[in-house]
């Protein structure tokens, strides 16, 4: 039973219900369309939301064939995994060097704000210069895309890591120094393991951004056979229309790997965000 002073916060409840509907409605529509035959597609909303006459995986099989799913999936996994691993290793080191030094150095504080300000630079401004520069340097391939991702997501990852470092007491490092530990040893054996929740947060946020990105692989690797899943899915869109049945089936296939990854790391993400938000 509810306590006498306990009341339902209806405005918040209504907002939560509206948010759930906003999230699940497109997902429901994608699932329904993915299992339907092209002949079942109609222009009215009722036809799009209705259940398919028969549940068939033909659209998924055809989508895998059209997108060369195994090859595209392999490219996406390779780029995403390498980017996430390097982001965790490099950005955590950078955040530690800057975060522990900027309190006593205006130079490090300037570097911190300079890097973080990169979050406000639109990709459209950098797109054409990057295309020309990567082509001249021979980086119009997967390696070039990975390097660009490491640069693009450095600002937000630096912001997250430095915020989390404020919750790790300096006494641990001072004790390690007294015991004769070097800065390098102390970071990798004490600080780095303690940032595990934030590693999970950075991993998922970076993986989501890399996995779903279209523009960077399109402008850097466009015209090559090294398609990622988002690039391969452009095959369903033509000048005269879109094959929604195959497109939505392909979207659901691409959603599964990153969804599984998120579910596995969910607890660590929540801990990392909650702890990093408290100074």
Rg (CA), the chain: 23
Q: How far apart, in whole angstroms, are the C-alpha atoms of residue 97 and residue 162?
A: 9
Q: Provide the residue-wise pLDDT of the chain in tens; the chain has 279 residues.
A: 455 556 777 888 889 898 888 888 888 888 888 888 777 766 666 666 777 777 878 888 888 888 888 888 889 999 999 999 999 999 999 999 998 888 788 899 999 999 999 888 888 888 888 888 888 888 888 999 999 999 999 999 999 999 888 888 888 888 888 888 888 888 998 899 989 888 988 988 899 899 989 889 888 887 667 788 888 887 776 644 567 788 888 888 888 888 887 777 776 666 655 555 444
What was the pLDDT predicted at 102? 86
CB atoms closer than 10 angstroms to residue 257: 16
CA 268 to chain centre: 15
DSSP character at residue 240? S
What was the pLDDT predicted at 274? 54
What was the pLDDT predicted at 270? 63
Q: How far apart, in whole angstroms, are the C-alpha atoms of residue 54 and residue 31?
A: 13
What was the pLDDT predicted at 240? 45
5: phi then psi, degrees, rounded to nearest 5: -90, 5
DSSP lists the bridge partners of residue 165 as none
CB atoms closer than 10 angstroms to residue 200: 22
Angle (CA) 208-99-93 rounded to 5° is 60
Q: Going by C-beta distance under 8 Å and a sequence separation of 6 or more, which residues neighbour residue 271?
A: 197, 200
Q: Residue 245 in contact with residue 59, Cβ under 8 Å?
A: yes
CB atoms closer than 10 angstroms to residue 148: 21
Q: Would you say the C-alpha torsion 37, 42, 44, 47 has a positive or negative sign?
A: negative
């Amino acid at each position: 039973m509810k306590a006498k002073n306990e009341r339902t916060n209806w405005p918040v409840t209504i907002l939560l219900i509206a948010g759930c509907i906003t999230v699940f409605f497109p997902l429901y529509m994608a699932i329904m369309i993915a299992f339907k035959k092209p002949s079942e597609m109609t222009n009215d909303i009722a036809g799009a939301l209705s259940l398919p006459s028969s549940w068939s995986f033909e659209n998924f099989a055809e989508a895998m064939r059209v997108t060369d799913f195994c090859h595209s999936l392999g490219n996406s996994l390779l780029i995403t995994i390498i980017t996430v691993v390097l982001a965790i290793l490099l950005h955590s080191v950078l955040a530690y060097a800057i975060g522990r030094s900027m309190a006593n150095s205006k130079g490090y504080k300037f570097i911190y704000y300079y890097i973080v300000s990169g979050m406000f630079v639109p990709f459209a401004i950098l797109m054409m210069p990057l295309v020309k520069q990567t082509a001249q340097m021979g980086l119009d391939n997967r390696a070039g895309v990975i390097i660009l991702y490491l640069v693009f997501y450095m600002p937000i990852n630096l912001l997250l890591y430095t915020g989390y470092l404020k919750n790790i007491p300096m006494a641990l490092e001072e004790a390690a120094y007294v015991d004769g530990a070097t800065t390098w040893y102390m970071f990798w054996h004490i600080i780095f393991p303690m940032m595990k929740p934030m590693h999970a947060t950075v991993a998922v946020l970076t993986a989501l951004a890399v996995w779903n990105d279209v523009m960077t692989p399109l402008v850097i690797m466009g015209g090559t056979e090294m398609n990622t899943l988002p690039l391969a899915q452009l095959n369903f869109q033509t000048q005269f229309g879109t094959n929604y049945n195959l497109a939505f089936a392909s979207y659901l296939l691409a959603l599964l790997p990153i969804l599984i990854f998120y579910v596995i790391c969910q607890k660590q993400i929540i801990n990392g965000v909650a702890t990093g938000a408290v100074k």
